[in-house]
A and B are shown apart, each in its own frame.
Chain A
Amino acid sequence: MITPGFLYLEGALFLFLAINNKIKYIISFLITTGALIITFYLTPGYSLQINFLNYTLIPFRVDDISKLTGLIFTLSGLAAVFYSINISSRSNLQLIFLFIGSSLTVVFTGDLFILYIFWELMEISSSFLIITVSDLTKKTGYYFFLMQAVGGLSLLWGVFLNHSATGSLSLNAIETGIPFFMIAVGIKLAFIGLHTWMPQTYSKVPFYVTVVLSIYTTKVGVYVMYRLLSGINILAYAGLISALFGIVMALKQNQVRKLLSYSIITQVGYMVIGISIGSAAGITGAFFHLINHILYKTVLFMVAGVVIYTTGKENLEDLGILGSKLPITSLATLVAFMAISGVPFFNGYMSKTIIKEALQEPVLIWGLNLMSFGTSLMFLKFIYYAFFQNSNINLNRKPTISMQLGLGFLTIIMILIGINPFLLENLTNIDVDINYFDIKLMLSGIQPFLWSVIVFILLKKYLVKEYRRFIYYDIYREMAKIFVKIGYKLSIYHNGKLSKYLLWATTTLIILLSLLI
């Protein structure tokens, strides 16, 4: 049986055959749609086993949640690949396929060993994508790779600790090593304090790479968090703090993609809260939110991409290009804005409501309202620049058809889910038992949005202004500097004098012999 993840990985190999653009299109089309269809027809409960070293591994296992995640991953994979197919070179497309394939394998894996391997493959392929894609991203790629490697290695250490305590590599038997799993997931989620890689990466790489990266990197973190760390209540508060931090930072940005990156941190906060409360409703809400978030955030990144592609610039003022000149893109922007703000009849509303209904604690409920308020506030800024400010920027070139196809495809799905939220429930046989169109729910859902509109109008001059850019203190860079300094001192000491070498050797001999006594 061909798994969707392996289909993508094979696709990366098949692309070696793509000597011209036509074959590239055909292969990409076959692989992406093939993976989507296979995922659609997966039956929960199916699993595969292989033997590797002395372990019995489960590289493939289907259940409701993994099928749901797999579906949105393959669906957005289709859109993202088509969005970028004209701009990306063949080797970068291969890396993208490798990246998507390993993310999908992580989602369908049944044990920690395979999880770790494909977690690392994700990290390797995305880092090389960042490094090779442009001349300006070398340092970013270096930082990204090292940061992700710390995450990968702490995952590995957690796996080892857990394996030595329980003797099993199963995903269900997590007993020890929780702090290390937290670090690993935290780095992927861009948790506050561990988020430093994200804004700089997402704002520097070419726009189509941002689209691909933003779909999978953090979302795989959410999925793995559900597998390894669900039901740890304290994390809900951590998620809340991280989300509020994301809002504060996002409001201070002038660059479109930096704003969107910080907004990811906020949106991931919802999912963390949903997963941390651990109830079935919370988890379902978190995963529906994952789906909705992938849809609208991808659309927004694609919009940012279109703006960059057509104008070559990417500050918030340049969003003024939207409107009459780019009708499809503008429509998509509006839909995504309504969705992310949680306005009823758009898809974000549905999952936010489920999570809110699953919460018991008043602090978290109020926190959630505050998050919704902040989210719509920061996107009002986005919309204000896009539609309410006169600008005289001109189109350099038109967006390609494949870009508009990818964008439009996701927008249509978003509208469908928004109008009929039961679509997702029926697709996965998960029944949430909430009437989304209840007047009371709709009122409480739209309240933060209305408040934010009022606040935005009142405080416009504080919100809409050029914020000074400043470089944040980065503790990881400081640590790296210390490491380099120590190494430099050591290497100076090694100066090539033979007498010194003999001295070291004799000292070692003396130490060894003194150990005898």
Chain B
Amino acid sequence: MESAVWIILLPLLTAFFLGIFKLYSDKLFYSLVIVSMVIYLYLLILVINDSYPPKVYSIGDWGLLGINLMVDSFSAMFLLIIAILFITVIIFSLNYIKVNKHKFIILTYVMIAGIAGMVLTADLFNLYVFLEVSSMSSYALTAIKKTDKSIESSFKYLIMSTFGSFFILLATILTYYLTGTLNMAEISLEFKSVPFMIKSTIMFFFIFGYGIKIGLVPLHAWMPDSYEASPIPYNVLSSGLVMKSAIYALIRLLYVIFGVEFLTESGILNIGVFWGVLTFIIAHTLAYQQSNLNRLLGYSSIAQIGYITIGLFLGNEKGLIGGSFHILNHGIMKGTLFLVLGIFYYSLKADEIEDIQGLGYKFPVLSFTFVVAALAIVGLPPFNGFVSKWLIIEAAIEAGFFYAAFFILVGTFLSLTYYLKVIIKLYTKTEKKTLIEKPDLSLKLPTFFLGSLCILFGIVPSLPLSLINNIPKFLLNNSEYIRILLGG
């Protein structure tokens, strides 16, 4: 069978067998984790390499009736993020997680299966199913520490997210009712005869539903709460993959089934850009107030999603490139920050800003990695965040959104105010604190790997951009996407 199908199946099967192996032997369990991870990495590279021109996989040879998977550059870019983050997080958490370790790993595999499915599918209902798979495992992962706080925040997350899912399902049902099909290409063709008003309503339902999962202000409220209470490796995946897969799905839907002409006509592009600006200004303002680093990074994630939203809602080529690149970069930068924080928490239970005082002298290399990632996420050269922000600003100016471009710079300044606060705390000497547990190499190595990517993608942005540059071809011009999907 084709490798793309295995990208969804492998983590799902692995999770299943891990559940069985866990009953018998730990050794078997960990060897399966490692073996499956290596094979998965190989599969991902295979599929990413073969993503241009786009490939369609029809499962079970049922043609259009069956389920279609499609790999284009946008999904390939997302698979790249999965490859980078999933591997590092699994290696990190093998050592890091102490409570419910088996469950954590199994649920992570299930979540990855859901996200991979969301990324690859070309079918509206499947998209919903995979979304729920990834959301369900996320709720469980948030609650996995079983403290009062984590259960409460998981409950909030569950309620809010289900609220969003409800509207996504509603919009999916309405679409099926109007067009009689769930294949994205056919929906897009049928949609041409649907009245404007009904189409806009469906679109707003989609945007609202996904808006909750993405965390646009004021739909973001569950997110910092859940970050505070969940294990830190999960936060990496949450900010790098769960949030991002939601915005991926939304953009895929908007650009493929509605088409960029409709988006311009309905004015949603203006709304999206404005919403992005609002999101990051408020999120930056709130992030400054936080004393808990998990919450601070959570608000910072919301702010970064604002930038990504602006880029992707500009409706031009550069905006899509910049926005997609920022998705990748933010995954890496925020991953680095969370992993460093994770090591601090592992060693001396430090996750308040006050607690990390003086750690810059105890963990010099780790703190340096933190500083690099923080400067990158602020958007200062020569790191990767700068390049993608530059692209987004340039695109915003090209599309005529001068206010958005200007506010991105204001946002850069605001984010500097709180990241600098953390950095200075890191480098302020203090007498107290004894080291409780020394982090070993399996914790440090993934962190350094992500941190070095921050520098690498900043100095040689052409590496990921050679993949990302193809993204607009199939989003801005959805007839091309439709032709390939129907032709397959």
Contact = CB atoms under 8 A, between A and B. Distances in A.
Interface of A: 52-53, 116-117, 120-121, 124, 128, 131-132, 135, 138, 141-142, 145-146, 149-150, 153, 156-157, 160, 163-164, 483-484, 486-488, 490-491, 494, 496, 498, 500-502, 504-505, 507-509, 512-513, 515-516
Interface stretch (B95-103, B104-112, B254-262, B414-422): B414-422
Contacts of A507: 218
Nearest to B400: A164
Nearest to B416: A149
B282 to A, nearest CB: 7
Interface string B205-221: 00110011000001101
B285 A486 contact: yes
Interface string B452-482: 0000000001100100000000000000000
B428 A138 contact: yes
B416 A145 contact: yes
Interface stretch (B175-183, B306-314, B374-382): B374-382
Contacts of A496: 156, 225
Given A160-B394, A505-B160, A516-B200, 15 more contacts: A120-B381, A135-B429, A142-B420, A146-B417, A149-B416, A157-B406, A157-B409, A486-B285, A488-B289, A498-B155, A498-B156, A502-B160, A508-B211, A512-B204, A515-B271
Nearest to B153: A496
Contacts of B208: 508-509, 512
A496 B371 CA distance: 30
A184 to B, nearest CB: 12
Contacts of B382: 117, 121
Contacts of B74: none
Contact of A153 (B267, B391, B413): B413
The SS class assigned to the A binding surface is helix
Contact of A149 (B197, B288, B413, B427): B413
Given A508-B208, A512-B208, A120 B424 contact: no
A53 B461 contact: yes
A15 to B, nearest CB: 14
B102 to A, nearest CB: 31
Contacts of A132: 360, 427
B437 interface: no
Contacts of A505: 160, 163, 212, 218-219
B470 to A, nearest CB: 15
B38 interface: no
Interface in B279-302: 282, 285-286, 288-290
A504 B221 contact: yes
A328 B462 CA distance: 55
Contacts of B222: 501
B136 interface: no
A153 B375 CA distance: 14
A30 to B, nearest CB: 25
A355 to B, nearest CB: 35
B70 interface: no
State the 8 A-B residue pairs at the shortest beta-carbon distance, nearest first: A491-B289, A501-B221, A504-B218, A117-B381, A487-B285, A153-B409, A164-B397, A487-B289
25 contacts: A53-B465, A121-B382, A132-B360, A142-B424, A146-B413, A149-B413, A149-B416, A153-B412, A157-B406, A164-B397, A484-B288, A487-B285, A487-B286, A490-B285, A491-B290, A498-B156, A498-B160, A501-B160, A502-B160, A505-B160, A505-B212, A505-B219, A507-B218, A508-B218, A512-B204
A164 B398 contact: yes
Contacts of A138: 424, 427-428
B264 interface: no
Interface in B111-170: 155-156, 159-160, 163, 167
Nearest to B396: A160
Nearest to A516: B200
B201 interface: yes
Contacts of A120: 380-381
A490 B282 contact: yes
A490 B424 contact: no
Interface of B: 155-156, 159-160, 163, 167, 197, 200-201, 204, 207-208, 211-212, 218-219, 221-222, 225, 267, 271, 282, 285-286, 288-290, 360, 371, 375, 380-382, 387, 391, 393-394, 397-398, 405-406, 409, 412-413, 416-417, 420-421, 423-424, 427-429, 461-462, 465
B424 A150 contact: no
B381 A160 contact: no
Contacts of B163: 502, 505
The SS class assigned to the B binding surface is helix
A513 B204 contact: yes
B432 to A, nearest CB: 15
B132 to A, nearest CB: 19
Contacts of A150: 413
A142 B382 CA distance: 20
Contacts of B381: 116-117, 120-121
Q: Most chain-B Cβ atoms within 10 A of its Cβ — which of A128, A149, A163?
A: A149
A502 B162 CA distance: 11
A490 B201 CA distance: 31
Contacts of A164: 394, 397-398
Contacts of A515: 204, 267, 271
Nearest to A145: B420
A491 B224 CA distance: 12
Contact of B204 (A163, A484, A504, A516): A516
Nearest to B405: A160
A143 B391 CA distance: 29
Nearest to A127: B420
A84 B102 CA distance: 55
Given A117-B381, A150-B413, A504-B219, A160 B160 contact: no
B8 to A, nearest CB: 31
A109 to B, nearest CB: 13
A502 B159 CA distance: 9
A131 B398 CA distance: 38
Contacts of A146: 413, 416-417, 420
Nearest to A154: B409
A488 B286 CA distance: 8
A501 B225 CA distance: 11
B199 to A, nearest CB: 11
Contacts of A128: 371
A141 B425 CA distance: 12
Contacts of A486: 285
B420 A516 contact: no
B219 A508 contact: yes
A500 B221 contact: yes
B404 to A, nearest CB: 12
Contacts of B424: 131, 138, 141-142
A163 B395 CA distance: 12
Contact of B201 (A117, A487, A491, A516): A516
A232 to B, nearest CB: 23
Given A138-B424, A487-B288, A501-B160, A494 B207 contact: no
A164 B398 CA distance: 7
A115 B160 CA distance: 47
Nearest to B389: A156
B221 A124 contact: no
A241 to B, nearest CB: 28
A507 B218 CA distance: 9
Contacts of B159: 498, 502
A141 B423 CA distance: 11
A487 B288 CA distance: 7
Nearest to B421: A142
Contacts of A491: 286, 289-290
Contacts of A504: 218-219, 221
A134 B429 CA distance: 9
A323 to B, nearest CB: 38
A323 B290 CA distance: 55
A512 B207 contact: yes
Nearest to A507: B218
